[in-house]
Chains A and B, each alone.
Chain A
Amino acid sequence: MNWLLAIVQTLLFVALAPLLSGWLKWCKCHLQNRKAPSLLQPYRDLMKLIRKQPVVAEHASWIFTRSPYIIFSAMVLAASVVPLIAVDLPTAASADVIVLVGFFAFARFFLALAGLDIGTAFGGMGSSREMTISSLAEPAMLMAVFTLTMTASTTNLSLAIAHVLNEGLVLRPSFVFAMFALILVAIAETGRVPVDNPTTHLELTMIHEAMILEYSGRHLALIEWASQLKLMLYGVLIANIFWPWGIAQNFSIHALGYGLLAISGKLAALAVFLSISETLVAKMRLFRVQEYLSFAYLLGLLGMLSHIILEASR
């Protein structure tokens, strides 16, 4: 029963990810006075891409054709670890936050390899930029995650969320910092506006798009889906770690339904905030990303320090 629930939760993750990015696009369009596409547009795009025949370059090696499957499955595995509507699921017990960061790194590694594999200038440029950004973003993310794990004295995400939940409403200075650090890292890692623009194909600015420029057909569909999953994963992480209220702690239908409702509401609200910030903020120069991410690292570090200085028992 529990395993079934875990599988259903993972499937829900995979199924709802395009909806989240559709909702994000919808909010953004309305904020920018444009006509919004339907909320289901990402599903239609994915269906169209899956039906099309992929075109693979002549010199592509096996890495290029296998990468989309590897990236997508790494993201699905990552989704199985993160509690979406219920804590204490068996899959969540099998891996902790550091494994989750590892899944992200694994997917990114193959994406960068695929970008290099084809041998075009854009692919290599995109890969090098992606690795530069992620090498700075990963320490910041780990710092924010360590703040959580030190508070809950466990690296298991499910147990940590249950710990935060059981404590009730505590005003923790360290969590404020860790949350902002995680939000900054999430924006950088999912390629949203101040760092990368997901809608542009302008060669000077693109990072994520440059790596996947040569993909088409179902390969492209899988990569797009994986990046939508990544966005949703970060959203769920932020929502469930810092506002875990509403998540199901037992497996009754009532609690699960309430959990689903709560996480949908939280993700929808987060997407509204993201679209507002994307409308207000301009994309920054590539060489300023380093400052942005070192600020995220500083916030993570301050979160850790304020946990030790202000909160720890003595």
Chain B
Amino acid sequence: MNIEQQDFYTQAILSMAALVGLTSFLMLGQGRLLRLIFVFALQGLLLTLTTTLAAYSLNSPHLYISAMMTLILKVIFIPWMLRRQVVLMNMHRDVEALKNNTAVMLGGAGLMVFSYYVLHPIVQTSSAIMLNALAVSLSVVLLGMLLMISHRQAVAHVVGFMSIENGLFFAAIVATKGMPMVVELGVAFDVLVAAVLFGIFFFHIRTSIDSLDVDRMNRLHEVDQ
């Protein structure tokens, strides 16, 4: 089954999948926090569009509700909250020096190949071409983890964590025609709670070590090394 034999909606959803992958790479190489948050919001917007398209083409109206929730939570509320905190803590002018940026990027490309390799047997047994996008969503998850490893600012870690959730959400759309409404509501609520909790954590980390650079937490060792 080739892409040219598919209808327009499937092609559009696959293109969206590719763009979601691109936003993950953009986040990986981004040293400025505000721009990082902006790209994260862009990823949320792409997810919203994908969900809307899937809702329309699969004819499952409850996906519209989850698209709506994605729009409100991941495009507007969480980016707004993170942005406010970055501005409040006066970090929006800092440029984080990323170590080994090129190596991290190449590692990201490697992760994408790896997730394709891992999912190849699963995708092979199915006939739906939308499952092709599963590899992209797994790589979004892995790239989110890589983002958390390679960045040092706590805000970047939160963005990485949220983009892992984006990857899982995307996988749910392309693989299962959307999860049951209860599950989606629960996940959305969890993300919301996590976002609020992270805000409180930021505050505490900031008051105890006077920075959000998590590398400096290593100084909290009880034993001198």
Contact = CB atoms under 8 A, between A and B. Distances in A.
Contacts of B116: 305, 308-309
Contacts of B1: 313-314
A190 B18 CA distance: 28
A167 interface: yes
A265 interface: no
A170 B3 contact: yes
B124 A173 contact: no
Interface string A239-272: 0000000000000000000000000000000000
B124 A167 contact: no
Given A171-B11, A301-B109, A314-B1, A294 B102 contact: yes
Contacts, number: 69
A311 interface: yes
B105 A306 contact: no
Contacts of B132: 309-311
A298 B124 contact: no
Given A171-B8, A177-B22, A314-B1, A305 B109 contact: yes
B109 A310 contact: no
A105 interface: no
Shortest Cβ-Cβ A-B pairs, 10 listed: A173-B18, A171-B11, A306-B18, A311-B3, A173-B15, A170-B4, A313-B2, A310-B14, A310-B132, A309-B135
Nearest to B3: A311
A298 B3 contact: no
Contacts of B25: 298, 302
Contact of B113 (A170, A305, A312): A305
Contact of B21 (A306, A311, A314): A306
B14 A173 contact: yes
Nearest to B8: A171
B22 A310 contact: no
Interface residues of A, number: 24
Contacts of B11: 170-172
Interface in B1-57: 1-4, 8, 11-12, 14-15, 17-19, 21-22, 25, 29
Given A301-B109, A310-B3, A313-B1, 13 more contacts: A173-B17, A176-B19, A298-B105, A299-B22, A302-B21, A305-B109, A305-B112, A305-B113, A308-B116, A310-B18, A311-B2, A313-B2, A314-B124
Main secondary structure of the interface of A (DSSP, over half): helix
Of listed A170, A305, A306, A308, residue having the most chain B CB within 10 A: A306
B133 interface: yes
Interface size class of B (residues with CB under 8 A): 20 to 34
A170 B14 CA distance: 11
Contact of B12 (A171, A298, A309, A313): A171
A174 interface: yes
B109 A314 contact: no
Contacts of B17: 173, 306, 310
Given A171-B12, A314-B123, A177 B18 contact: yes
Interface in A288-306: 294-295, 298-299, 301-302, 305-306
A305 B113 CA distance: 7
Interface of A: 167-168, 170-174, 176-177, 294-295, 298-299, 301-302, 305-306, 308-314
A295 B25 CA distance: 10
A171 B7 CA distance: 10
A305 B105 CA distance: 14
A243 to B, nearest CB: 16
Contacts of B78: none
B136 interface: yes
Contacts of A298: 25, 105, 109
Contacts of A173: 14-15, 17-19
A172 B21 contact: no
A294 B25 CA distance: 12
Interface in B139-179: none
B184 to A, nearest CB: 25
Contacts of B133: 310
Count chain B CB atoms within 10 A of each CB in A301, A309, A314 and give the residue with the most: A309
A308 B116 CA distance: 9
A306 B133 CA distance: 9
Nearest to B127: A314
B174 to A, nearest CB: 11
Contacts of B8: 171
Contacts of A308: 116
A306 B8 CA distance: 17
14 contacts: A168-B4, A170-B3, A171-B12, A171-B14, A172-B3, A173-B15, A173-B19, A174-B18, A302-B112, A305-B109, A305-B112, A306-B18, A306-B21, A310-B136
Contacts of B3: 170, 172, 310-311
A174 B14 CA distance: 10
B84 to A, nearest CB: 29
A44 B23 CA distance: 47
